[in-house]
Amino acid sequence: MNIGIVGLGLIGGSLGLDLLASSPDRNYVWGISRNINTCKQAEAIAAVNIASTDIAEIPDQVIEQTDIVVVCTPIATIVPTIRSLAPKLPANVIFTDVGSVKSAIVKPAAEICQQFGQIFIGSHPMAGTAFQGILAAERNLFQNRPCVVVPDADPVAVAKVRSLWQSVGMNIYECSPEEHDQAVAMISHAPVMISASLIAACGQQRDFKVLQLAQNLASSGFRDTSRVGGGNPELGRLMAEYNQKALLGSLQAYQKSLQQVIALIETEQWQELETFLATTQRDREIYMS
């Protein structure tokens, strides 16, 4: 199978590594990056067979036999990338992506692909590390991790995209773009804002001695609760920008739960608070199993 990977960062690079390492005879992987050094590095670590900053430099017969193109760029450039590449790729090619939002991408991407007789199937492989870039790429990054694939009127195309992610070890979940966005808003995007707000609240402390003490006493509880709020600000902004509606829904549900806890504490309903915390203790197990 000929596979194109556009965007050779952690995700694109790791995907290429696994595709080539597991089936070097069956897969041929070409890559595109804006950066020529990234292209050279991707070739050097065998994440791709060939890479270029310009699709025109990928041999015609490679392009003509391409089955799937995986767009691994940041969210904001997924649709523009498809718009620019679609005219240069054969009809029947399947595009997919790795974006952490789906509603904002699937419809416009599918419309572009349709114009060229191509198909877009939305994906969201949920894998990563704390690092970025082609040099952070690693084998087995996707192993046993969940991947959302958005169903489509073309079941053959969906099956091919499912197979691609399954071939690197992922567990597939099918759902609509809206279902995906609501689920990730709650378990991934809202936690970033909830966690960042904790850090910001500490910053409101005007008593310098208390602030300094808090900084000295902060330990694992604060470290874990604040971790994702201390992450990449650009990524946090993009989540909010491209998943605004579902994120706001999750944050409003969160405000309601928080207000409930505060009311229990204000009215000294200690037994009810303990029951509330026993429920969250039990419920968390379901997410962690």
The residue from 126, 166, 167, 169 that contacts a copy of itself (CB under 8 A) is 126
Buried residues in 123-138 as b, exposed as e (16+ CB within 10 A): bbbbbbeeeeebebbe
Q: Which of residues 144-173 bind a copy of itself (CB under 8 A)?
A: 145-146, 148, 171, 173
**218 lies in the site for a copy of itself, by CB under 8 A:** yes
Q: Which of residues 248-267 bind a copy of itself (CB under 8 A)?
A: 248, 250-262, 264-266
Name which of 146 and 169 has its Cβ closer to a copy of itself: 146
**223 lies in the site for a copy of itself, by CB under 8 A:** yes
CB of 9 to a copy of itself, least distance (A): 19
Contact 238, 75 (CB under 8 A): yes
**236 lies in the site for a copy of itself, by CB under 8 A:** yes
**205 lies in the site for a copy of itself, by CB under 8 A:** yes
The residue from 92, 114, 143, 232 that contacts a copy of itself (CB under 8 A) is 232
User: From the CB of residue 257, how many other CB atoms can be counted at a distance below 10 Å?
Assistant: 11
Name which of 53 and 188 has its Cβ closer to a copy of itself: 188
CB under 8 A: which stretch of 66-74, 135-143, 154-162, 185-193 binds a copy of itself?
185-193
**50 lies in the site for a copy of itself, by CB under 8 A:** no
Name which of 92 and 129 has its Cβ closer to a copy of itself: 129
